[in-house]
Amino acid sequence: MPRQIVLASRPSGMPAEENFALTEAGRPDLADGEIRVRNLFMSVDPYMRGRMNDVKSYVPPFRLGEPLEGGAIGAVTESRSPDLAEGDLVLHMLGWREEAVLPARQARKVTPEKDLSPSAYLGVLGMTTLTAYVGLLDIAAFRPGEVVFVSGAAGAVGSMAGQIARLKGAGRVIGSAGSDDKVRWLREIGFDAAFNYRNGSVMDQLREAAPDGIDVYFDNVGADHLDAALVMLRNHGRVAMCGAIANYNATQPPAGPGNIGLAVSKRLTLRGFIIVDHADRMPAMIADVSGWLRDGTLTHAETVVDGIDHAPGAFIDLLRGGNTGKMLVRL
């Protein structure tokens, strides 16, 4: 029988293995319009931590005792829909399970790309890169020649945001990461400067990397990174507020930036966004990214863990910064 991961209990602070349970799933007959999909890869993403809390948000919380959800790509093994056939490769949101049954209308057929794993549709050709693309170009209104700072820059979204800035003509691209190896990798993929936030003050290291200030901050971390960026942003600077992973496991409400008044004096724009509101930008992103992949100017990395039973560990490792690029589970 196919297996799945359910939420066994709601975590307090950093999730632990005991918050998850591996169970067997049934194999229900298909209703008209449904498909059965053998999942090949599933995504684990930071936003999933918020869904483990029983609080109101932009997406409903995961339910106790029920399978978790998330992006997945797989092959159709059975279909009762005229729109999808056996063997089709599809994207859908019923990850955390080896096999998924869902209405065909909730899946998107994709074409296998030569020389790319199907997992690319969960990362470099998927919502990950769309998040970076929209955040930088639309939310932060990036303009060629500007100085861009990306926090969590060795992660799936951050590594794409920094490279897109470079490819779109940034004057300088700076990234932060949590290890010296990740810093070296950021420099290899085209960041002009990068620093290990564990090696010292974010403020001091950012000031050294951008002595004349920054124009755009792509925020994946929050906390001390946002504090430092507010100081270093020039007048009329912009912040794309994508995430604040530093606070995701907090058990008490985190303190707000102590220097938020700088947003007034510098006339800054701080704008949050959720990528589901921007699906219309997918064709433009695919057009740009496909060209960069063909000519070799865009690099993407994946950290792949094997087996549904290792999915909880992969998610926990993601929250601890154990990934370079996109974190995936191969099923």
**pLDDT 10s digits, 249-280:** 877 777 778 899 999 999 999 999 999 999 99
What does the block give as tokens for 79? 């279909």
Q: Which residues, in sequence order, are CB contacts of 270 under 8 Å at separation 6+?
A: 238, 239, 241, 263
**pLDDT number for residue 49:** 95
| Topology adopted by domain 3-122+301-330 | Quinone Oxidoreductase; Chain A, domain 1 (3.90.180)
For 51-99, how does the pLDDT look when each residue is reduced to its tens digit (9 = 90+)? 999 988 888 999 999 999 999 999 999 999 999 999 999 999 999 999 9
Averaged over 124-153, what is the pLDDT? 97
For 241-255, how does the pLDDT look when each residue is reduced to its tens digit (9 = 90+)? 999 998 888 777 777
CB-based burial label for 220 (10 Å; 0-12, 13-18, 19+): buried
* Secondary structure class of 294 (helix, strand, coil): helix
State the DSSP H helix or E strand holding residue 188, giving kind and residue range, or none if neither. Answer: helix 180-188
**pLDDT number for residue 59:** 86
As a CATH number, domain 127-276 is: 3.40.50.720
**Cα separation, 2 vs 24, whole angstroms:** 6
Q: Which of 19, 121, 129, 26 is nearest to 71 (CA)?
A: 121
**Cα separation, 70 vs 104, whole angstroms:** 17
The answer to whether the CB of 237 falls within 8 A of the CB of 268 is yes
**pLDDT number for residue 214:** 98
**Cα separation, 131 vs 281, whole angstroms:** 10
The residues of the chain that CATH labels 3.40.50.720 are 127-276
Give the number of other CB atoms < 10 A from CB of residue 240: 28
What does the block give as tokens for 253? 């409400």
The residues of the chain that CATH labels 3.90.180.10 are 3-122+301-330
pTM, rounded to two decimals: 0.93
